[in-house]
Amino acid sequence: MAGDKPLGAGTLTPAELDKEADKVYRLFKRGNSRQAIGRALGMSTDVVERRLSRARKNLGEDSLADMRTDRESSLADMIRESYRNLDKAETVAEKNAVIRTIADLNMKVAKLLGLEMPAKVTLEMEKALELLHLQPDPVWGDGDL
């Protein structure tokens, strides 16, 4: 039976390693650092990194899309919780802090999805469109009849 154990994994079977990797990955997706996970589970950061690598490998080739979906889902959960906190806020300062949090989370979602466009690019595009509207139409002329 000793041949069933992977080298360097101590007494854990492959199934147990997968279960541990899933647990580490869930904690990591919730925003915990590698160090915090290691402290909580009694692992070195190297072991945590190996478990994360194993979990990602187990996800297969869709892992990037899965990770993006996981992050989007986590952000959506935080936004929902922030709106609940907004309803509970009693002072203007508390409400403003929660509103800033919601705005920040929404920007993170936009960035994750590639929807964020830098302000400079937006301004340059607006200027270019304005210039296009000032030019005479190449087919119909400048509109004088």
Tokens describing residue 82: 């922030």
| Whether 97 and 116 share a structural domain | yes
Q: 85-137: per-residue pLDDT in tens?
A: 999 999 999 999 999 999 999 999 988 888 876 655 666 666 666 665 565 66
| Whether 72 and 129 share a structural domain | yes
Query: What domain count does the chain have?
Result: 2
| Whether 77 and 118 share a structural domain | yes
| Whether 41 and 80 share a structural domain | no
- All residues at 6 or more sequence positions from 34 whose CB lies less than 8 Å from its CB, including other chains: 28, 45, 48, 49, 52
pTM for the model stands at 0.45
- Of 58, 49, 45, 46, the residue nearest 19 (C-alpha): 58
Tokens describing residue 87: 């309803």
Structural domain harbouring 84: 63-139
Cβ count within 10 A of residue 89? 14
Q: How many helices (H) and strands (E) does the chain have?
A: 6, 0
Long-range CB pairs of 29-36 (<8 Å, 24+ gap) are 29/70, 29/71, 29/74, 30/74, 31/74
| Whether 48 and 68 share a structural domain | no
| Whether 69 and 113 share a structural domain | yes
| Whether 55 and 67 share a structural domain | no
Q: 54-86: per-residue pLDDT in tens?
A: 888 887 656 677 778 778 888 998 999 999 999
| Whether 70 and 12 share a structural domain | no
| Whether 84 and 133 share a structural domain | yes
Cβ count within 10 A of residue 34? 19
